[in-house]
């Protein structure tokens, strides 16, 4: 039993990091299942339902921004991946992990750079993670419509940064992402810009 593992949401200014683990049937093929970034939002939703229906098992892990701030994004991503693996109804014998970082678990594994383009199980996990996270951000949009999470999904678009200046951060903004040059939190740096205008 091989599980593909991938995440969504390492880079946004707001919201959780979400990981998925997917075990597909042996020999499973579907040319439409590829890197989630290469598929339209509508197609991703269709594929999400198909993967949920046809996979042997699917697990999802969600780590909120408050935990990301406490442990850092890499450790939070590992936590999400471990939670996704724990959620699988079938324990995997082997895992394929997108990227070059091994998950700190006692399961045999292989890291695959650009794995969502090279492994259908990782691609399936990338779709499940992305759709799961997008739906969470759509829920947060209803709570905090001023940040336009429906469209930006927490990423630092111009409109999102403008809203940060106007309204300040909300409870799902990450305070620990730092600017390379200043060492300040990106969120706080945006607010400082507003104070100096």
- Per-residue 3-state assignment (H helix, E strand, C coil) for the chain: CEEEEEEECCCCCECCEEEEEEECCCCCCCCCCCCHHHCCHHHHHHHHHHHHHHCCEEEEEEECHHHHHHHCHHHHHHHHHHHHHHHCCCCCCEEEEECCCCCCCCCEEEEECCHHHHCHHHHHHHHHHHHHHHHHHHHHHHHCHHHCHHHHCCCCCHHHHHHHHHHCCCCCECCCCECCCCCCEHHHHHHHHHHHC
Show Cβ contacts of residue 162 under 8 Å, excluding neighbours closer than 6 positions. Answer: none
Q: Are residues 126 and 178 in the same domain?
A: no
- The 10s digit of each residue's pLDDT in 76-108 is 999 999 999 999 999 999 999 999 999 999 999
**Mean local confidence (pLDDT), 10-15:** 95
The burial class, CB within 10 Å (0-12 / 13-18 / 19+), for 183 is exposed
Beta-sheet strand order (sheet of 57-63): 57-63, 17-23, 2-8, 94-98, 108-112
Residues 103 and 191 in one domain: no
Q: What CATH number has the domain bearing residue 111? A: 3.30.420.10
Domain match, 188 and 133 both: no
Q: Note whether 96 and 189 are same-domain residues.
A: no
pLDDT at 106: 95
Residues 45 and 70 in one domain: yes
Are 12 and 93 in a shared domain? Answer: yes
Q: The domain containing residue 38 runs over which residues?
A: 2-137
Q: Are residues 92 and 177 in the same domain?
A: no
> What confidence tens digit (pLDDT) does each residue in 29-80 have?
999 998 888 889 999 999 999 999 999 999 999 999 999 999 999 999 999 9
Residue where a domain stops, chosen among 93, 116, 137:
137
The last residue of a domain, from among 137, 152, 184:
137
Domain-ending residue, one of 137, 160, 179: 137
Which of these, 149, 122, 164, lies nearest to 15 by C-alpha position?
149
Q: Treating both helix axes as pointing N-terminal to C-terminal, what angle do 120-143 and 41-54 enclose, rounded to 10 degrees?
A: 120
**126, 148: one domain:** no
Residues 18 and 58 in one domain: yes
Tell me: do 90 and 187 sit in the same domain: no
Q: Over pLDDT 90: what percentage of the chain?
A: 85
Q: How many domains, the chain?
A: 2
Residues 160 and 126: their CA atoms lie apart, in Å, by 24
Nearest to 122 by CA among 94, 97, 103, 99: 97
Residue 12 has pLDDT above 60, yes or no: yes
Instruction: Judge if 89 and 23 occupy the same domain.
Output: yes
pLDDT in tens, 116-137: 899 999 999 999 999 999 999 9
Q: Are residues 118 and 176 in the same domain?
A: no
Q: How far is CA 59 from CA 12, 39, 140, in A?
A: 22, 21, 22
């Amino acid at each position: 039993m091989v599980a593909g593992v991938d995440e969504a949401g390492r880079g946004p200014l707001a919201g959780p990091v979400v990981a998925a683990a997917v075990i597909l049937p042996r020999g499973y093929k579907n040319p439409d299942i590829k890197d989630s970034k290469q598929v339209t939002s509508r197609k991703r939703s269709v594929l999400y339902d198909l993967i949920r229906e046809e996979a042997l098992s699917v697990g999802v892990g969600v780590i909120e921004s408050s935990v990301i701030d406490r442990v850092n994004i890499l450790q939070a991503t590992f936590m999400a991946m471990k939670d996704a693996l724990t959620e699988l109804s079938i324990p995997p014998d082997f895992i394929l992990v997108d990227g070059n970082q091994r998950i700190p678990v006692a399961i045999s594994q292989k890291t695959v750079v650009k794995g969502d383009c090279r492994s259908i199980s990782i691609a399936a996990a990338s779709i499940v993670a992305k759709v799961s996270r997008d739906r969470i951000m759509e829920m947060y949009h209803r709570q905090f419509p001023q940040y336009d999470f429906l469209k930006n999904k927490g990423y630092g678009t111009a409109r999102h940064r403008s809203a940060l200046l106007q309204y300040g951060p909300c409870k799902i903004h990450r305070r620990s992402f730092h600017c390379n040059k200043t060492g300040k939190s990106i969120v706080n740096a945006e607010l400082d810009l507003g104070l100096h205008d």
